[in-house]
Amino acid sequence: MDSKGRALDNIIIERFWRNIKYEEVYLKDYESPREARINIRDYIDFLITIALIKSIARL
């Protein structure tokens, strides 16, 4: 499954970036690239926190 251009190889990361674009980037009007990086980093931290909470809740 490491052939070039195979969609199933990276579907998880593609979905991850799609969510970031649709839920964070496209909804905001950033004043600068620095502000965009900070907000995207904060959003990723938020997603990681939610994932951890969900995994702990399953225990």
Instruction: Quote the pTM value.
Output: 0.72
Q: Among 44, 45, 41, which residue's Cα sits nearest to residue 33?
A: 41
Q: Encode pLDDT of 2-59 as tens digits.
A: 566 666 778 888 899 999 999 999 999 999 999 999 999 999 999 999 999 999 988 7
Q: Encode pLDDT of 47-57 as tens digits.
A: 999 999 999 98
Count of alpha carbons within 13 angstroms of residue 3, beta-carbon side? 4
